[in-house]
Structure 1
Amino acid sequence: MSAAYASFGLAPAMRAGGVLAGGDYQVHRDFVDFIVNGRPLLFQLADLDAVSPLAADVPPAIFTTHVRRLLLEADAPLLDGRYVIYGCPECEGLECGAVTAVIERGGQSGDADAGADDDYVWRDFAWQTSDHADLALNGYHGIGPFRFRGAEYRAQLGRLLDGDGIGGGPRRVLLIGARVALLAKLAAALRTIGVGAEIAADAAGVPAEELRTYGAVAFGHAVPQRTRDEVRAAFEGAGADIVCVEGRVPVVPLLVAQIEQALDRGPAEHRRLTRLEVAGDAVVAEVTSACRVRLTAYRLDRLRRTRVHEVLDEVLPPGEHRFRLPGKARHVVARTPDSVRVAVPRS
């Protein structure tokens, strides 16, 4: 008798980039995640910071090879028929560690199901840092095996081969404002983490096809309402689906986080960080599964200098969590491996 079937799907996901405390940064990565039984498989791996091999920024030929490997139409990249399911978001080196699994057709001997030979099975998940996986020491014993129906499995991955990248939208932002020095710093920070950014006074005369390459528009605090309305009208006339970001506080890491949140077009039900809000002198965060959460609060002092407060950096269990904010800091950025959210005081 074969194991119970699991459903298989794909959905856009991201590894949130950002400017971190002390000037460090992490690169933004868009990728396609595996949805098993209606839930991202990555969520079962707690606080793991990783992406699937189906990343948007890999060359098309390599992307196609990764898809064909999952379809077992290309040789396994690792020994013992093992395939990379999730790897390092900064590089492709196995020495950084990767989640691997055996992928095979059919099932175990004695399988009574007539269609079992058409199934795809993912089993023996492990954390691997060298040529051989040590299942006893580094195996994910609570995950899998998963048995997927062949037709569903091939149809989902076939969409990628047909050119449907299941992307989350354009990864460029147009910066509108008068403070050129601040906008230049913001644009540089965005480009550093892998998000395209251009600076302009307005959107007048920009061709419609170019406007459609943007996923967000960020307005500086001093931009007149008339200019804002004209920019929105230009994008609407071009048929561009954009998110508008109001940059009221001139703090680059905070603005980067706001833009990252605006560019996240992944399904809401596939996010671990579902709520973040400032309530008085506390911040409330809610997560759907155990994951690493970093909370950073920002404020401007009397001389308009940026003050940064690291509120939290730890793995939180599912549920609602409340933390006291230090001093007068009330602008908060929350990061998990897959998303970023920004909360500001209620006016």
Structure 2
Amino acid sequence: MSAEYATFGLAPATRAGGLLANGDYQVHRDFVDFVVDGRPLLFRLSDLDAVSPLASDVPPSLFTAQVRGLLLEDEAPLPAGRYIVYGCPECQDLACGAVTAVIEADGEDFVWRDFAWQTDVHADLEFNGYHGIGPFRFRGTEYRAALAALLEGGSPGTRRRVLLIGARVALLARLAAALRTIGIGADIAQSADGVPADELRGYGAVVFGRSVGPGERDAVRRAFADAGVDVPCVDGSAPIVPLLVARTEQALDRSPRAQRRLTGLTADGGGAELEVTSSCRVRLTAYRVDRLSRTHAQDLFDGVLEPGRHRVPLDAKAVRGDAHLVARTAGTVLVTAVERRGTAERPAAPGR
């Protein structure tokens, strides 16, 4: 086993939820990811859609038990000293598959080794081992300090509620229902007048309906500023619920750029430009409204991209008229309008 040390840390992460073009949906999950040598460990698993056991929506007692397990204060949940490192984001059932590893103490150090994909109680390292990952040796003081901080601060908190502003509530009601379906709380109001500051500070984003004018939007922004909170605002002018869900997910993403796999998206009638920081699966979907106000959605690309910039050709019929693209990885969602040559540049969708 290598005697070289790897650094160990923790960082907030998100498994982005959303409504998919085929009618399925995936749940929004906030969790704490493991950072090894300054890079999220999940990024080493190119096309894996998974979350760590340190999720913000698990009961506090279970969260504490997961942390104590990683500290080797509790017995390993699987034979041979194996612990679940990443599991299914939808049901967390081992039968769906999980990444596991042996976690053991070596003197004052902690060692993670023999990573494997596991679907039952026993791991087959020969056929399902991640032979290019690990072993990792962590200094005990650094390792314990990072995990102990979670116990002191409790489960990681995030602002997973959004405020929907507008007088015409039909579209906003559908959007609120869709957001709640994927695990994001949503409230509808005509304005932010009279909303207590403590309540405003609980929102992670604001979505403006089509009927909300510039003056009303400014008043909402002032209300949040007076409450001491800066929230991204989403323009809800496009009456397409899955697209608005994607824009909301993008607005809620406050992760540093270094912790995102997908960092750039632009598009014109001929193709989409994507920037990827680590190997990952990317799904690209086009949304548009035709002249009869009918909504159209079409998946244009679904595959694994390597780090770098990529241009993906687009089906001209899928992006004609007023069209938007949604690029999605397991942890990142980006939205952009499809630019038309010779037209003025449209503002990028909000988000950080």
**What's the counterpart of residue 70 of structure 2?**
70
- Report the Cα offset of residue 2 of structure 1: 5.4
- Report the Cα offset of residue 23 of structure 1: 1.9
Is residue 280 of structure 2 the alignment partner of residue 291 of structure 1? yes
- Report the Cα offset of residue 324 of structure 1: 2.5
Candidates 330, 333, 340, aligned match of 1:337: 330
- Report the Cα offset of residue 208 of structure 1: 0.7
Counterpart contact for 1:11–1:166, Cα < 8 Å: no
Counterpart contact for 2:9–2:34, Cα < 8 Å: yes
Counterpart contact for 1:7–1:38, Cα < 8 Å: yes
- Listed one character per residue, the Cα deviations across residues 184-210 of structure 1 (whole Å, up to 9, x for unaligned) are 000000000000001110000001111
Amino acid at match of 1:102: V
Is residue 117 of structure 2 the alignment partner of residue 127 of structure 1? yes
**What's the counterpart of residue 92 of structure 1?**
92
Is residue 176 of structure 2 the alignment partner of residue 217 of structure 1? no
Amino acid at match of 2:284: L
Q: Which runs of 5+ in 1 are unaligned?
A: 107-116
**Could you state the TM-score of these two structures normalised by the residue count of structure 1?**
0.94
Amino acid at match of 2:299: E
Matches within 5 A, 1:105-184: 105-106=105-106, 117-163=107-153, 165-167=155-157, 169-184=158-173
What is the Cα-based RMSD across aligned positions, in Å?
1.3
Q: Equivalents in 1 of 2:169, 2:229: separation in Å?
A: 25
- Report the Cα offset of residue 81 of structure 1: 0.5
**What's the counterpart of residue 180 of structure 2?**
191
Classify the secondary structure of the residue corresponding to 1:130: coil
Matches within 5 A, 1:286-325: 286-325=275-314
Classify the secondary structure of the residue corresponding to 2:187: strand
**What's the counterpart of residue 350 of structure 2?**
none
Q: Equivalents in 2 of 1:166, 1:9: separation in Å?
A: 14
Counterpart contact for 1:297–1:325, Cα < 8 Å: no
Q: Equivalents in 1 of 2:232, 2:188: separation in Å?
A: 16
**Could you state the TM-score of these two structures normalised by the residue count of structure 2?**
0.93
Amino acid at match of 2:163: L
Tell me the matched-pair count: 336
**What's the counterpart of residue 349 of structure 2?**
none
Classify the secondary structure of the residue corresponding to 1:21: coil
Counterpart contact for 2:115–2:129, Cα < 8 Å: yes
Classify the secondary structure of the residue corresponding to 1:162: helix
Q: Equivalents in 1 of 2:69, 2:187: separation in Å?
A: 38
Q: Equivalents in 2 of 1:155, 1:35: separation in Å?
A: 14
- Report the Cα offset of residue 4 of structure 1: 0.5
Q: Equivalents in 2 of 1:280, 1:243: separation in Å?
A: 28
**What's the counterpart of residue 110 of structure 1?**
none
**What's the counterpart of residue 32 of structure 1?**
32
Candidates 226, 232, 237, aligned match of 1:243: 232
Counterpart contact for 2:261–2:331, Cα < 8 Å: yes
Q: List structure 1 runs of 4+ shifted beyond 6 angstroms.
A: none
Amino acid at match of 1:338: G
Counterpart contact for 1:189–1:256, Cα < 8 Å: yes
Is residue 215 of structure 2 the alignment partner of residue 226 of structure 1? yes
Classify the secondary structure of the residue corresponding to 1:233: helix
Classify the secondary structure of the residue corresponding to 1:72: coil
- Report the Cα offset of residue 165 of structure 1: 4.1
Percentage identity across aligned positions? 66
- Report the Cα offset of residue 241 of structure 1: 2.9
Amino acid at match of 1:28: H
Amino acid at match of 1:203: A
Q: Which runs of 5+ in 2 are unaligned?
A: 340-344, 347-352
**What's the counterpart of residue 48 of structure 1?**
48
Q: Equivalents in 1 of 2:251, 2:81: separation in Å?
A: 40
Q: Equivalents in 2 of 1:201, 1:325: separation in Å?
A: 39
Amino acid at match of 2:67: V
- Report the Cα offset of residue 221 of structure 1: 2.4
Counterpart contact for 1:277–1:343, Cα < 8 Å: yes
- Listed one character per residue, the Cα deviations across residues 227-280 of structure 1 (whole Å, up to 9, x for unaligned) are 101111111111123111111211000000000011111221111001011234
